[in-house]
Amino acid sequence: MTSNEIFILEDDPEVRRALETMLAKRNYQALFFADGDSLLAVARQKSPACIILDLQLPGKSGLQVLAELREIRYPVPVFMMSGYGSIETAVKAAKLGVVQFFEKPFKPSDLIDSIEKVLAVEVDCRPVDGKSEDVMACDPAVLASFTPRERQIWDRIVRGDSTKDIARAMALSPRTVEDHRSNLLRKANVGTTAELLRAALAGFRRPKV
């Protein structure tokens, strides 16, 4: 099963708290680093689901850390955020393979929606092991346990809609959508939205609109 850890290079306490809170709601575990060398040291020992890098930090910048990760062909998606971004910086990050560049201030839910879309695509590309926990979660009875509202939200998640998109389309608050998403994860016995999508690929029948 994919790791639920996300490595985050960020020294701003407020940004840390916001990301940690939102990631916990999606059943991800945030592992924070205040400097690039610390992150690189841990990254050489294990791989997270993805990495989030702040551009401007004392010592090594986010771009320098990203460059070192690419040198060792580190196999996880990397996102970057900054309050001092420029077009030139964004281009450099893109050339180094960053998935998406977020300019501060941004909504943590937007970043995490983007992360889950990327992880879901990566999950789609992996063969499904018939003995995996994800397949075990694919009893058709799970889909039958969803309420009508949950089934509507489930269908939009499968399409790749973000929390904001779902909230707008269904005239709900983003928090209500997050609550329904948590219920879906619990009923499907999976930890993250990416795992929920893998469960769909392994056996759920997509509900009709």
* CATH class of this structure's domain 129-202: mainly alpha
**Residue pair 77/115 in contact by the 8 Å Cβ criterion:** yes
Q: What is the pLDDT of residue 172?
A: 93
Q: What is the pLDDT of residue 86?
A: 61
Q: SS3 for 114-169, per residue? A: HHHHHHHHHHHCCCCCCCCHHHHCCCHHHHHCCCHHHHHHHHHHHHCCCHHHHHHH
pTM higher than 0.85: no
- In order of 11, 63, 157, 175, the CA distances from 17 in angstroms are 11, 23, 26, 17
Q: Which two tokens stand for residue 12?
A: 């701003």
- In order of 64, 139, 195, the CA distances from 188 in angstroms are 40, 9, 9
5-123 placed in CATH 2.60.40.2470? no
The structural domains of the chain, with segments of one domain joined by +, span 5-123, 129-202
Q: For each of the chain's 209 residues, which pLDDT tens digit applies?
A: 457 899 999 988 999 999 999 999 888 999 999 899 999 999 999 999 999 999 888 788 888 999 999 888 888 889 988 877 666 677 777 778 888 888 888 888 888 888 887 887 654 333 334 333 333 334 567 777 889 899 888 878 766 677 888 999 999 998 999 899 888 888 887 777 766 666 665 544 333 33
Cα–Cα distance measured from residue 144 to residue 182, given in angstroms and rounded to the nearest whole number: 17
Q: What is the pLDDT of residue 173?
A: 92
Q: What is the pLDDT of residue 200?
A: 60
**Residue pair 193/181 in contact by the 8 Å Cβ criterion:** yes
